[in-house]
Structure 1
Amino acid sequence: MADSVDEDLALPFFVVHVVWHPESVLGKMIADALMQHFRRDIYKNIVGGNGIPVVFRSACLPGAGTPIPLTLDDSEASATIVILDEHLVSHVEWVDYIKHISAQVEEFSRSGFKRMLFPISIQKGVLNSMSVPQQALRWDSWVGDDSAKVQQLRSELTYEFCRMLRYNLAQLEAPTERNIGEYLKKVQVFLSHSKHDDEGTEIANAIRLRIYQGHGLASFFDVHDIPAGLPFDEVLLHHVRVSAMVAIHTDSYSSREWCRKEIIEAKTWNVPLVVANSISTVDERSFPYMGNVPLVRLGHDPTKVDRIDIVVGRLLEEVLKDYLWKCQTHEIRATLPVRAIFIPRPPELISLSCIPSVFPEDRHGTDSEDLVLIYPDPPLSTEEERLLSRVAPHVQIRSLNEWKAGAIR
């Protein structure tokens, strides 16, 4: 593989920094929880190595009152999380340390949103001692125990990271001046459900309500969100293509024509997708194209807030994975000497059906003999590879690491 490709992948696109005072027991617990979450297996295969890099700043060097300074140019984009409590704000040198980071981020943000600072207020009153312009996440006003608050924090940060990477991906593809309006656009969620099961509509309503209460997402809820005068099918399919989808799998879901259309459209456009399983009795014919994505079991009471939070949180992770993949592979896609399609999840039969629309013959003047389909690691199982090869023997299907290692015929 060419050196330029290796260099592009050597620098992580996105890094998370976590800063807390060493005397803060809760601060360390939060930092460890964020480390474990963002270095999980689901992110390892997107960005390589051990998941999203998480850098700690807490321990001070001998003779120093604060940690070594943060390096904000160790990645293309970064998020700095500062855990504010009485231990931190009662030490002047730590307050100055945080203000210096804030000033650095502000300097970077004049040209865009590559560096962001997310203060977390874990005790009431600490914000009065910190004069930084960045809006804080108010852990001190959330309900529930520390475990519930950690889960909420992970989801809130994941959503903010999605916004960051969405904006930066757009800048990679078409650079423009700093535009806060584009950054503030909400990530849209499409709630795909069957209205022939009362439970399907009930769950969709519960998820929609929770979305509005929590993460600042936008939802699309079929007839309620279609402007008068427009054809409903055109509006529905448009929203599928630009949204992340929750497919609410109730007993009648697979039998409904438009539910099936929505799934196929979502898979065709590779949008982030999570299946919320709520089968109460039996699904007579499970729709085959609902696989290859995360499935969350809603349980006996599918409208319980904690189960809905798991669905929304898992969807946000899928959105973040999607943006990470596209950002991390942007330079490769832009300079690749061979024809390739980069897809954000392991390929399946429906992936092969989309190839003609991605690389039409009249655009390249040749067939697909030299086409490579590249997807996140790990590699497919042998039986999956054989099946896909039988269907499309002219297409080479490789995981990113296989491709980087030169596994192309």
Structure 2
Amino acid sequence: MYSSPLSIYVLWHPNFSDGVFFANKIYQNFNRDTDYVLSRNLNIPVFYRNKANKNNEILSINFQESDKNAIVLLIDDNMFNDAIWEEYVSNILPNLDDNNRIYPIVLSSVSNYFLEENNFSRFQSINLMKTNNLDKQWEILKSRLLHDITRMMLDLQSVNDVVNTNTTITPRPPVKLFLSHAKADGEELAISFKNYIENNLKANTFFDTNDIADGYDFSDEINRNIDKNTAMIVFLTDAYSTREWCQIEVSTAKRKKCPIVVVHHIQKQERRSFPYLGNVPTIKWNGSFNDIIDLAIIQVLVNLFAQKFLEKHIALYDLEKKYHCHILSNPPELFNYLDILKLRQENTDKPVLVLYPDPPLGNEELKILNEVNNDINFVTPSHSFQYL
């Protein structure tokens, strides 16, 4: 039986008019953006629970269908005054643990009464009543969900769970941010970014000006601090691509399959772009550190979910009987052949199958990859694995 690594459930009362807005935003950001069907998406299953059938029953949640479940509960006046919903929510509570978490969203003045009556005191709610602007409310909710769902995928305790123990323990952050920059023209922005994180967020940064102690080998420290749960943020300035250590940092991140986000801050020109800085999300510097942080956490979450998702498909179709399987969390590129060809040379008894998340590459990109070695198969979950 296949079970998803993670599923998200959005619960709201059918009379709550803004419920559809929040539910669709969650689907758009955590599953797929239907306006850009060919773009890379998280592809996390998102299910809606908002209507009762003719017997006044709301479709239940099967907690066994996924390894982890995140339940987003949108609490408004309508839910507070509905006994059916009160009973439905109370039946969810016994199923909650580290792998099944609930996120109560406060959307009205009576929300706290609903939480108290349903014994939600141990759950830290997300209050969206500080603003009446729907878009601003969504930005608050998105950041909180990204942060805590990533913790869930990393098997870390929820930040709210730690806070509610009334201890002085600082929750371990889900993502370590490695800031890559050229000192010549990117240091000021990188320092401002680091200071913003330290003053406003619970996240670590690896910053070469003060995190590499004197006497330590620079390349060893980079290797030690970059892994798949680290997000590298590249501040792409005019001088960046000309700096050898910046090139080493990017190359190391790619070899270790570390998520990379490029913050585009070219003021005049690059004399030559670094060729291995492609195939990653890029965001133009617009003065918003939060946009960069959210994008970085999304990339870590993409990698975590994709790795587990593809591992499950390998097991489901028993692909390792016929292939040596190599998983990529990003769309494949020529750089990946460094590892793919090594795997091929070390394992000659079976062909190599490279699995990566949907959507599949276009014909032109696949043609270039196949020209290097036509024996390597590149597939996504949308392929019919049973016919391989």
Q: TM-score, normalised by structure 1?
A: 0.79
CA contact (8 A) 1:164 1:183 kept: no
2:340 maps to 1:355: yes
Match of 2:165? none
Cα distance, 1:58–1:144 mapped onto 2, change above 3 Å:
closer
1:13 paired residue among 5, 26, 29: 5
CA contact (8 A) 1:45 1:376 kept: no
State the 1:228 CA deviation: 5.2
2:107 maps to 1:122: yes
State the 1:119 CA deviation: 1.0
2:225 aligned partner, one-letter code: H
List alignment gaps of at least 5 residues for structure 1: 1-6, 169-180
Q: Deviations over 1:4-44 (max 9, x none)?
A: xxx54xx4332111112223223332223222322315998
1:72 paired residue among 59, 63, 66: 63
Distance in 2 separating the partners of 1:285 and 1:185: 36
State the 1:398 CA deviation: 3.1
| Secondary structure at 2:126 match in 1 | coil
TM alignment of 1:164-243, pairs within 5 A: 164-167=152-155, 184-197=172-185, 200-212=186-198, 216-227=202-213, 229-242=215-228, 243=230
Match of 1:85? 76
Cα distance, 1:382–1:154 mapped onto 2, change above 3 Å:
same
| Secondary structure at 1:40 match in 2 | coil
Q: Deviations over 1:177-227 (max 9, x none)?
A: xxxx99954311111111110xx2233234334434655332222222234
Match of 1:146? 134
User: Where has structure 1 moved over 6 Å in runs of 4 or more?
Assistant: 42-48
1:346 paired residue among 317, 324, 331: 331
Q: Deviations over 1:227-257 (max 9, x none)?
A: 4553333222221225111111110010011
TM alignment of 1:361-380, pairs within 5 A: 361=346, 366-367=347-348, 370-380=351-361
List alignment gaps of at least 5 residues for structure 2: 157-168
1:310 paired residue among 272, 291, 302: 291
Cα distance, 1:88–1:214 mapped onto 2, change above 3 Å:
farther
State the 1:118 CA deviation: 0.9
State the 1:102 CA deviation: 2.1
Cα distance, 1:209–1:375 mapped onto 2, change above 3 Å:
same
Distance in 2 separating the partners of 1:44 and 1:77: 26
| Secondary structure at 1:280 match in 2 | coil
State the 1:93 CA deviation: 4.3
Q: Deviations over 1:238-294 (max 9, x none)?
A: 212251111111100100111111111111111111111111100110001011111
2:152 maps to 1:134: no
CA contact (8 A) 2:7 2:44 kept: yes
- CA RMSD between the two structures: 3.1
| Secondary structure at 2:262 match in 1 | strand
Distance in 2 separating the partners of 1:293 and 1:258: 19
1:328 paired residue among 306, 309, 319: 309
State the 1:125 CA deviation: 5.9
CA contact (8 A) 1:17 1:56 kept: yes
* Greater per-residue helix proportion: 1
| Secondary structure at 1:248 match in 2 | strand
Match of 1:255? 242
| Secondary structure at 1:25 match in 2 | coil
Q: TM-score, normalised by structure 2?
A: 0.83
State the 1:75 CA deviation: 2.0
Cα distance, 1:385–1:97 mapped onto 2, change above 3 Å:
closer
2:22 aligned partner, one-letter code: I
Q: Deviations over 1:295-342 (max 9, x none)?
A: 1112xxx4x22xx32222222221111111111122345652221211
Match of 2:373? 392
Distance in 1 separating the partners of 2:59 and 2:354: 43
CA contact (8 A) 2:11 2:71 kept: yes
Cα distance, 1:125–1:224 mapped onto 2, change above 3 Å:
farther
Deviates more, 1:51-60 or 1:340-349: 51-60
